[in-house]
Amino acid sequence: MDIQDKIIAITGGGGGIGRALAEAFSRAGARHVVVADLDGAAAEAVARAIGGTSFTCDVAREADLARVVSETEKSVGPIDLFCSNAGILPINPDPENAASSPNGEWQRAWEVNVMAHVYAARALLPAMIARRSGYFLNTVSAAGLLSQIGSAAYATTKHAAIGFAENLALTHKDHGIKVSVLCPQAVGTQMIEGKPMNGADVDGILSAEQVAQSAIEGLARESFLILPHPNVAKYYAMKSESYDRWIGGMAKLRRNAAARTR
């Protein structure tokens, strides 16, 4: 996909990867960039800086996402690329118990990390199918391919997000609709501030700007998997080659991470 002259919408665009994507798309010649975020003031600041528009949006509310889509398409034009980027990272309160997060945290993670992608697709697909074009870029995580030590809710919902993106891609390929998933490991954003890395930074912490550049390159190739940390492909292959060996390696990584925090 060539970003030039495209209308693009981004959730979670007020900071982190979302902000970096908005700025990168603007520099790459997008016709218009829509920035949506739970923090409306942050979204407005990013949009003002790049000459776009902003929305206050809770992606866990289907009506909010539907409003972003309908108002954008009414006032600006059809959305060419929708970046479903917002996400949350709950941490297991008891690191020795994978089921320790309360039901409310599981539910919120499900709504933000999975259902937000579904709601965006539901709002956009009818028009995209009719014109036989459109693109979804879903920010997921390497945790969706591998796992996330210390956060069962994050790992589980990110796996589910990959599953939905796969189904979105295979169902709508013949409609001319394309899908990519952006799957970095650790990124230096507010999401990870003050939280244990538990090995997620094994290949270094990238900047949001580096991840945005990887996204633009992956979109140009129209790759389903966009991996800012290239080693993720190797780890994913190892996982599929021998699940037992991979689980043993991850358990060792967890053990070593726990020892460093004592």
Active site residues: 154
On the CB side of 26, CA atoms within 13 Å amount to 19
Rounded Cα distance between 103 and 185, Å, is 26
* Token duo for residue 196: 């244990």
| 226 in Cβ contact with 218 (< 8 Å) | yes
Task: Give φ, ψ of 183 to 5 degrees.
Answer: -130, 75
- Distances, alpha carbon 100 to alpha carbons 79, 93, 151, 160, in Å: 40, 6, 10, 20
Q: Which is nearest to 143 in space by CA: 207, 189, 198?
A: 198
Rounded Cα distance between 62 and 43, Å, is 19
* Token duo for residue 248: 């043993």
